[in-house]
């Protein structure tokens, strides 16, 4: 089965009050395995970016000024998702914006029957436990060290890994191969994400980074995550969280 793991970034919380899409990221799965095909685009919202939203994703008015409008990318987006099932965390939020933009551009909206909400899936599987994307990554041991701000394509990649785990995961050996190869294919195939306007600070505290390094060291010298630690500097202590 073909599925599209999808995430968006926006100017705010409600399209009915004038908020707009500014980024879409998609990862293609076939039978719950990443194919390497992705879709990613930044969108000019045709309005100013509220500071609260900028602090979440770091996308400024200047950065988005020369990006295409939704109407300019809508057909390419629809061609990519085609008839695949959409896998989204807190789908009501993202689909509210996507269907608002589709309707605004004179196109047909996407029905709920095509959408699977991983937030609801996680709540059914782990009742009473935190079900945010960050919490689920932590539960399943998915590395989020590259995620210093919200970004649609990176969050879609993380959600794809979470979704696979919510459905039982892969065999241990296959999972290790997928962790090293699928990410490389996602980076090399499809439309590349543009660089962020400026480097963004780490969301990890120094204590969290130290604890993570200590855990990785218990895995042995050949552990996959050790490769990341060799190329990363420990983050400075964070002044606060978003």
Domains of the chain: 2-200 (3.30.420.10), 203-242 (no CATH)
Q: Which residues form the catalytic set?
A: 150
Pair of tokens at residue 65: 């000024």
Residue 21 has pLDDT above 90, yes or no: yes
Confidence grade of residue 234 (pLDDT, cut at 50, 70, 90): low
State the average pLDDT over residues 30-46.
97
Confidence grade of residue 211 (pLDDT, cut at 50, 70, 90): confident
Q: Which residues have C-beta within 8 Å of that of residue 4, sequence separation ≥ 6?
A: 26, 27, 28, 29, 80, 81, 84, 85, 86, 87
Confidence grade of residue 57 (pLDDT, cut at 50, 70, 90): very high
Q: What is the tens place of the pLDDT at every residue in 89-131?
A: 999 999 999 999 999 999 999 999 999 999 999 999 999 999 9
Query: Using an 8 Å Cβ cutoff, are 124 and 136 in contact?
Result: no
Is residue 205 left, alpha or beta, with left meaning phi > 0 and alpha meaning psi from -120 to 50? Answer: beta
């Amino acid at each position: 089965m073909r599925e599209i793991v999808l995430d968006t970034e926006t100017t705010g919380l409600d399209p009915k009050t004038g908020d707009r899409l500014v980024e879409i990221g998609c990862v293609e799965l076939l039978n719950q395995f990443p194919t390497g095909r992705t879709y990613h685009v930044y969108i000019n919202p045709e309005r100013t970016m509220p500071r609260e939203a900028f602090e979440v994703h770091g996308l400024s008015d200047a950065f988005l000024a020369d990006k295409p409008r939704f109407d300019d990318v809508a057909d390419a987006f629809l061609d990519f998702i085609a008839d695949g099932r959409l896998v989204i965390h807190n789908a009501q939020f993202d689909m509210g914006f996507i269907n608002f933009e589709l309707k605004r551009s004179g196109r047909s909206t996407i029905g709920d029957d095509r959408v699977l909400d991983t937030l609801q899936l996680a709540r059914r599987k782990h009742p009473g436990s935190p079900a945010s994307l960050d919490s689920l990554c932590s539960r399943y041991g998915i590395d989020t060290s590259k995620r210093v701000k919200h970004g649609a394509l990176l969050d879609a990649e993380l959600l794809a890994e979470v979704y696979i785990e919510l459905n039982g995961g892969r065999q241990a050996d296959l999972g290790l191969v997928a962790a090293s190869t699928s990410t490389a294919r996602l980076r090399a195939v499809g439309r590349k994400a543009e660089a962020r306007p400026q480097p963004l600070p780490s969301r990890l505290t120094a204590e969290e980074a130290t604890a993570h390094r200590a855990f990785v060291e218990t895995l042995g010298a050949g552990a996959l995550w050790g490769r990341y630690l060799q190329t990363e500097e420990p983050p400075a202590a964070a002044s606060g969280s978003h």
